[in-house]
Structure formats: structure tokens, C-alpha cells
Structure 1
Amino acid sequence: MPAATDIKSKTQVMHLYSQILTGIGFAVIILGAVVLVMNLVAEFAKTEGDFELLVAIESASLLLAGMAIAAAGQVLLCLRSIAVNCEEMAKKD
């Protein structure tokens, strides 16, 4: 069992980095959603009939970037969990 805690301490920075990435990702998701809603409201409030789809796509790209950052954080967390579990399984034998 001490070796399992040893791998946990060696991958502690990976755990911290995954939490930071996930937090930043969720913040960017929220920011992207707010910007998207504000741009859509501004587009629909125009008196002209022209709807610019590119504005909505640009706003949605910020939302998708946040999802990608949060996913990268979760992948790091999964990799750390796999490493810890593999170490525990190796020490059982």
C-alpha cells in the first residue's frame, strides 16, 4: 500500500493541473454561453431583417473552446486515476 500512496504523491501536480484546467474550462463555458445569448438577443433586436450567422458561430466557438479545456482537465484526471489503480493492482500480486 505505501507504493500506491507514493504514486499518488508523484502525480499530485497532475491532479492540481487537471482541477485548474477543468475550472478554467467551466468559466469559459459560462462566459461563452453569456456572450452567445447576448449576441443572439442583439441580432434578433435589430430592426433590419438580416441575421448574421457568423456572429452566432463566433460566439459558440468560445463555448466549444471551454468544453475542450474542461475535457482536457478531465482526461488528465482520468489518466491519474488509471496510474494509481494500475499501481495498486501491481502491488496486490
Structure 2
Amino acid sequence: MIVLPAPTVDDYPQYESGDPIPPSPYIDLNVLSVDEETVMVNDACKTLIATLEARGFAVVPVRHRHRRLFGGGFHCYTLDTVRTGGAENYLD
């Protein structure tokens, strides 16, 4: 078990006064595990990255700017990566 320090103000964007910031500052603990040693982490979360690297994880920093505004982390928006059927192109 890894107990992470509380995120600092530098670990997530600060929005102008009055803008909604619904999720917890701990939303970036929601990482995506690629395998037993590799995790994808928001590149803005320097405290989290340093802590995971110090524990031997290979960290893949990925830009994820609006996660607090929309209320989701890497695991949340990649949850549906296994589907029945074949590969499809959703961009055409």
C-alpha cells in the first residue's frame, strides 16, 4: 500500500474565483495501470509522479488538463476499453 501525500496547489490547475471545481483534489489518484509496473498519470501531478517513481513504478506522464472540471481521471475515461466484437473506427 502506498500512502500519498496530500496534493499541493501545484498539482492541479487553479480556476478563477467563482468557477466550479466539483471533484476532490485527490481525483488524480485515479490512474491507469498499463501493467504491474507501469501507470499513466496526469503530467501536472508532480507529487504523485515522484511518489510512484520512488516506489519503483514506470510513470507515463500524460496531459490531462480538464479532469477536475469534468470529474474524471484516467481510469474513468478508459473504463470501456474492452468491448465485444471487432475493432471499429469511431472517427470516420
Could you say which TM-score interval applies, normalised by the shorter chain? under 0.3
Looking at CA atoms only, which structure, 1 or 2, has the larger radius of gyration? 1
Q: Which has the higher contact order (CA 8 A, sep 6+)?
A: 1
Q: TM-score, normalised by structure 1?
A: 0.23
Please state which structure has a larger fraction of its residues in helix: 1
Please state which structure has a larger fraction of its residues in strand: 2
